[in-house]
Homo-oligomer: A and B are copies of this chain.
Amino acid sequence: LGSKHTEMPQGLFARTSVADSAAWIDEHVVSLEYEEILLAQAAGRVLAQDAVTASELPPFDRAAVDGIAVRADETAGAGTYNPLSFPLSAMVDGALPAAAGLRLGAGDPLPAGADAVVPLEHVGLTADGSCEIIDAVAAGSGVERKACHFRRDAVLLPAGRRLHPHDLGLLAVAGVSRLRVVRCPRVRCFLAMRSAAGSAAAPAARVDANGPQLRALIQRDGGSIAALREVGRNSAAIAGALAEPDADIVIVAGGTGRGLDDETVAALAATGELAIHGVALRPGESAGVGRRHDGVPVFLLPGAPAACLWAYELLAGRALRRLAGRDPALPFPTRRMTTAGKIVSSIGTTEVCPVRRLSDDRVEPIASLAGAGLAAAADGFVIVAEGSEGIPRGASATVYLYDHGPRPAIDRETEWRP
Chain A residues engaging chain B, CB cutoff 8 angstroms: 1, 3-12, 18-19, 22, 39-40, 42-44, 57-60, 62, 64, 66, 91, 102-109, 111, 119-121, 123-128, 132, 144, 149-150, 156-158, 161-162, 164-166, 168-175, 194, 199-202, 205-217, 219-220, 257-261, 304-306, 308-309, 313-314, 318, 327, 329-334, 336, 369-372, 374-377, 383-388, 391, 395, 397-398, 402-404, 407-408, 411-418
A9 touches which of B9, B39, B121, B260 (Cβ 8 Å):
B121
Q: Which residues of B contact A166 (CB under 8 A)?
A: 213, 217, 309, 374
B377 touches A19 (CB 8 A): no
B124 touches A173 (CB 8 A): no
B386 touches A413 (CB 8 A): no
A329 touches B417 (CB 8 A): yes
CA distance A258 to B172 in the complex (A): 24
**7 cross-chain CB contacts under 8 A:** A44-B216, A64-B370, A66-B257, A161-B377, A172-B208, A385-B416, A388-B414
CA distance A392 to B132 in the complex (A): 40
B157 touches A377 (CB 8 A): yes
CA distance A144 to B121 in the complex (A): 75
CA distance A158 to B220 in the complex (A): 22
Min CB distance A191 to B, Å, is 12
Best-buried of A4, A12, A18, A384 by chain B (most CB within 10 Å): A4
A259 touches which of B105, B215, B257 (Cβ 8 Å):
B105
Q: Which residues of B contact A327 (CB under 8 A)?
A: 403-404
Q: Which residues of B contact A149 (CB under 8 A)?
A: 369, 371-372
CA distance A300 to B329 in the complex (A): 39
A164 touches B402 (CB 8 A): yes
A173 touches which of B330, B372, B412 (Cβ 8 Å):
B372
CA distance A9 to B83 in the complex (A): 14
